[in-house]
A and B are shown apart, each in its own frame.
Chain A
Amino acid sequence: MKVPSASPPQARQPLLATLANPGATAAYVESQWDLVIAPTRNARLLGVLAHRVFAHVGRSALPARVVRHLDSALAEARFRRQKTLYLLHTITPQLTGHAGPWILLKGAAYIAQNLPLSQGRLPTDVDLMVPRTSLDGVEQALIKAGWEFEKKEEYDQNYYRAWSHELPPMVAVGQAMELDLHHTILPPVGRIKPVTPRLFADAVPVEGTPFHVLCPQDQLLHAIVHLVHDSDFVGRLRDLLDIDALFRRLPLSDSAQRQQLIERSRLHGMQQPLHMAAVMSRDWFDTPGCDELLLDLAGSGASAFYGERVIALANRVLGPANASEGSEGSRHVAARLLEARSHWLRMPPWLLAYHTASKGVRSLMQRAASREGAAAG
C-alpha cells in the first residue's frame, strides 16, 4: 500500500527544482534566479546549490551578479570547513589518553570523511561523541585547555548532565565553532533508546585521523532521528537534504542495503522515524528507493496515521520562513505544535512537567531580581 504523498508548499518549488536539476540553470534568466537565491540562502543551502550548479554549468554561462552570490556561499562553506578541521586539530591533545573511540557526528563527520554531501555545507558546530566513562576526563582536559561552557547557570548544567545525551555547548577563544560533547545520540530518558554500545562497537575509523564515524546505517539513522525525533522541524530543510544524500549514498535503491537498514532500525527502535524520513525525503527530493523501503517497512509497527499528521505539520515549517509572504500564521501554529511534540519526545511526562514548571518559576525569579536591581540602582 503506497503511502500517499503530501507535496511541499508551492513557494518552495523554485528552490527544489533548482536543487534537483542544477543543469537547467544554464537557461535561467535573472528573474528566475531572483526567486531562488534568497530562499536558498535562508534555508542555509546556498553553498550546496552553488556546488551543484558549478558542477553542471560553466561560470561564463551564468549572470555575473548571480555568480558572486554563489561564490560568496562557497567562500563561507570553505571557511567553516577550515574552522571545523582546525577545531579537531586543536582538541586532539586533550582527547589523548582518554578511552575512545572518539566519534564525529553529523557535519563534522561529513567533513572529516570528505563526503560529497559536505561540499558547500554550512556547519555551525562540531559534534563529538565519546564513551560515557571518558566524558568527565575529556571535559576536564578541555576546560584546562581554555574551553568553557556558554550556559553557566547551575540548573542548565544539571539538566544537561542528568537528562541529556550531551553536555552544554563549549566555546574557546580563537575557535569560531562550538563544541558539543555527546555520550550517546539521543537523551537517555527519551522515548527511543538506541543501543549505545553498538554505536561505539560498529564505528568506523576515518583514515588519516584519530577519529571515528558511525557506521553508514547508524550515520543515516542518527541524521534521521536528529530531524524527525529530536527537533521541531522548523527551517530544517537542510537536515532533510542531508538525509536524502545519505539515502542515496547507501544506496537505498539496493534491496540488500534496505534490509540492512531496516534491521539496524529495529535494533535501535527507530522504525517510526525511518518511515517518516522516507516519506518526507521522497516527497521533497524524489529519493530513489523510498517507496520500496516503505513497502518493506509496512507492518513494522510504524503508525501511518500519526506519522502522516506529523509530516503534514512538518511540511509547513520545514522550508525557510519568509516574513514577506502571508503564510506566517499557519506556520506559527504548526511550529508551536511541533515544538510541544519535541519536548514530549525528549522527556517522560513527569520530567517534562517539572522542567516546564521550574522554568516558569526561575523566569519569574529572574524578573523579580532584575526589578529589584533596577529599583535599587
Chain B
Amino acid sequence: MRIADLSVDALLERLSFSGLALDFGAARSRIRSSLRPLAGMLRTVYGGYPAEESTGFFDVNIELRPVPGIRRFIRPQCEVVCDGVRELEPFPLDTPLPLLEWGTNYGLATRLFCYLMLHAGVVERGGRAIVMPALPGSGKSTLTAALTLRGFRLLSDEFGVVRLEDSRLMRMLRPLALKNESIDVIRRFDASAVIGPSFPKTHKGTVAHLAPLAHHVDARHEVADPALVVFPRFDASAGVNLEPVKKARAFARLANNSFNYHALGPQSFDALGRLVEESSCWQLQYGDLEGAVAALGDLLERTPSSETLQGV
C-alpha cells in the first residue's frame, strides 16, 4: 500500500499520533504534524512512497507545528523541530511543505557522517550513475527532474550519497524542489508529472515539488556504480555543449561542494578519489533541456564502464 492509497483523514491520523514514516533509501524520517493542509500536500508529493509502520528507529524525527502563543493569531507561523531542536526560522503557516522539506534536508545533512554527502543531483540508468554537482546557476534541479521524466531513475535531487567503503551511490529519494520558471518548464516537459502546490514568496522565490515516480521509490535500496560526473551550467543562449574536465579538477570541485567532505579525513579522500577514478568527467553547457537530456543519455551509452576503462 502506498501513501496515495490512504485517505487524507487516515494520513492526518498517522501524522498526528504515531507519525508518518518516510523511507528515502539511505535514511528514513518520521514526521509528526497536526496541520490538515500538510496531510494533503504530503499525499501528493510522497504518494508513491510505501505506507510503512512508524515504530522502530528513525534517522531523523521531524515535527511541523504552528508557532505557539500570540503567533497563533497575528500573522500565524509554523516551525520545524528536528529531533527536539528548533533549527530553522519559522515560515508563514500557509507554507508548511517547503519548511518541512528544508528542515528534513538540514537534518539529513548534519547527522550523517557515516556517508560522504555531496551536494549534487544524481540519476542512473542501467545501474550507472550520473552525478551533477549543484553549483549556483547550474539548473541542476530542472535537469535532474527532466532526466527522471525521460527514463533515468532518481537517486536524489540534493544529496549525492557516497558509500565510504566502496564509493557506490546510494539513494536519498526526496521530492524534487523546483523553483520559479522551472515549475512551468517541467510541466511542459511532461504533462503527466505530479507536481505539488506552488508556494510563492519563499526566500527562494516560488517553490513547488515534483513527486518521485513510484517505480523509482521502489528502487530506493539499490545502489549505483559511478559512471559520469557532469557539471551543468544553464545558459539560455547555448545549445548543448559538452567538454571534458580533468579528473583532478573534478575532484576539487566535488570536494568543495559537499556537506561533509572536510570532516571525514582520509576516508572521504579515498571514497571521492575512487568515485572520480571510475567516472568520466564533463562540463555541460545547455540552453535546450530536451537536447541536454538526450546528450547525457548518449554520453552514458558511449562511456565504457570502469572495468574496461584504462585510466584517463
Cβ 8 A contact of B83, one of A31, A42, A63, A75: A42
Does chain A have a CB within 8 A of B55?
Answer: yes
B243 nearest CB across to chain A (Å)? 32
Cα distance A122–B115 when bound, in Å?
19
Please give the number of chain B residues whose Cβ is less than 8 angstroms from any Cβ of chain A in the complex.
Answer: 24
Cα distance A320–B84 when bound, in Å?
9
Does chain B have a CB within 8 A of A136?
Answer: no
Does chain A have a CB within 8 A of B81?
Answer: yes
Cα distance A322–B84 when bound, in Å?
4
By a CB distance below 8 angstroms, the chain B residues around A30 are 55-57
Please give the number of chain A residues whose Cβ is less than 8 angstroms from any Cβ of chain B in the complex.
Answer: 28
Task: Name the prevailing secondary structure of the A interface residues.
Answer: helix
Does chain B have a CB within 8 A of A71?
Answer: yes
The closest CB in chain B to the CB of A34 belongs to B57
By a CB distance below 8 angstroms, the chain B residues around A76 are 113, 263
Cβ 8 A contact of B81, one of A63, A75, A324: A324
Digitize B18-29: 1 where CB-to-A-CB distance is under 8 Å, 0 elsewhere: 000000000010
Does chain A have a CB within 8 A of B150?
Answer: no
By a CB distance below 8 angstroms, the chain A residues around B263 are 75-76, 79
By a CB distance below 8 angstroms, the chain B residues around A33 are 57
Q: Are A68 and B114 in contact (CB under 8 A)?
A: yes
By a CB distance below 8 angstroms, the chain B residues around A34 are 56-58
Cα distance A38–B81 when bound, in Å?
12
Does chain A have a CB within 8 A of B86?
Answer: yes
Q: Are A69 and B265 in contact (CB under 8 A)?
A: no
Within B201-259, which residues are at the interface with A (CB < 8 Å)? none
Does chain A have a CB within 8 A of B41?
Answer: no
Does chain B have a CB within 8 A of A204?
Answer: no
Cβ 8 A contact of B114, one of A39, A71, A79: A71
Q: Are B265 and A38 in contact (CB under 8 A)?
A: no
By a CB distance below 8 angstroms, the chain B residues around A42 are 83-85
Q: Are A325 and B84 in contact (CB under 8 A)?
A: yes
Cα distance A82–B57 when bound, in Å?
31
Cα distance A227–B61 when bound, in Å?
30
Q: Are A323 and B84 in contact (CB under 8 A)?
A: yes
Q: Are B265 and A324 in contact (CB under 8 A)?
A: no
Does chain A have a CB within 8 A of B63?
Answer: yes
Q: Are B84 and A75 in contact (CB under 8 A)?
A: no
Cβ 8 A contact of A65, one of B32, B57, B86: B57
The closest CB in chain A to the CB of B63 belongs to A324
Within A307-328, which residues are at the interface with B (CB < 8 Å)? 320-325
Which 8 pairs of residues, A with B, have the shortest CB-CB distance? A322-B84, A72-B113, A68-B114, A38-B83, A30-B57, A30-B56, A75-B113, A79-B263
16 A–B contacts from the bound complex (CB under 8 Å)? A30-B55, A31-B55, A31-B56, A34-B58, A38-B61, A42-B83, A42-B84, A65-B59, A69-B59, A72-B111, A76-B263, A79-B262, A79-B265, A323-B85, A324-B61, A324-B63
Give B residues with C-beta under 8 Å from A. Answer: 28, 32, 55-59, 61, 63, 81, 83-86, 111-115, 262-265, 267
